[in-house]
A and B are shown apart, each in its own frame.
Chain A
Amino acid sequence: GVTQSPTHLIKTRGQQVTLRCSSQSGHNTVSWYQQALGQGPQFIFQYYREEENGRGNFPPRFSGLQFPNDSSELNVNALELDDSALYLCASSSLGQGSYGYTFGSGTRLTVV
């Protein structure tokens, strides 16, 4: 499956944070989503074979990396209070077809 770390995190406004994800073995695509309380997940960006393959409506202070070993990172700089949310990592094998993304359980980020 997809595992994310840490499960919970508290940061101060202005700080930087790195969230980690270990994708399902063999999956070549990872996407990150932000889910605010009471809302559906919102697409941040997608990485395919270690390159950004698409981006949602998020500012450049949200950045990511994908590594060859099925792991990836989401970095957020200059944290704002509104960045408090559940951050979800999802992996897939692009072109696999009907099985879609497998989501991790997320990292709950609280910015104070």
Chain B
Amino acid sequence: GESVGLHLPTLSVQEGDNSIINCAYSNSASDYFIWYKQESGKGPQFIIDIRSNMDKRQGQRVTVLLNKTVKHLSLQIAATQPGDSAVYFCAEATGTYKYIFGTGTRLKVLA
């Protein structure tokens, strides 16, 4: 398949380790934040979301942290697996559900 991102920041982690992917968002009025995973040749796949009235939300093996003071979002993946290798995008939205996507981070899981 085609590469989603050729010159993206890359995070390399050992299989089984935890991964932390960071994102700075731009609009202090954004009230909804989402993390998407995108594999080569595919569209973005929803991972987890969080509203601005929360600072932490947990899913299965994933946690999203929101720091509104510094407009920062992070995605933590526990026990990273080879299938987690992909490009990860954060997105912010305000009410109308128009998403503004970040530039993306490529996650490489090393065996």
Contacts and interface: CB of A to CB of B under 8 A. Distances in A.
Interface string B1-31: 0111111100000000000000000000000
10 contacts: A31-B98, A37-B6, A38-B4, A40-B102, A43-B99, A46-B96, A46-B98, A54-B96, A101-B99, A108-B2
Nearest to A29: B97
A22 B36 CA distance: 21
A88 B99 CA distance: 13
A105 interface: yes
Interface of B: 2-8, 32, 34, 36, 41-46, 49, 51, 89, 91, 96-104
Given A38-B7, A41-B44, A106-B43, A53 B102 contact: no
A98 B59 CA distance: 13
Contacts of A90: 43
A88 B43 contact: yes
Contact of B97 (A33, A46, A88, A108): A46
Contacts, number: 71
Please classify the interface of chain B as helix (H, G, I), strand (E, B), loop, or mixed, using the class held by over half of its residues.
loop
Interface in A14-61: 29, 31, 33, 37-43, 46, 53-54, 56
Nearest to A89: B43
A20 to B, nearest CB: 15
Nearest to A100: B34
Interface string A95-112: 000111111111010000
Contacts of B45: 103
A83 B49 CA distance: 30
Contacts of A99: 46, 49
A92 interface: yes
Interface in A70-90: 88, 90
Contacts of B102: 40
A26 to B, nearest CB: 16
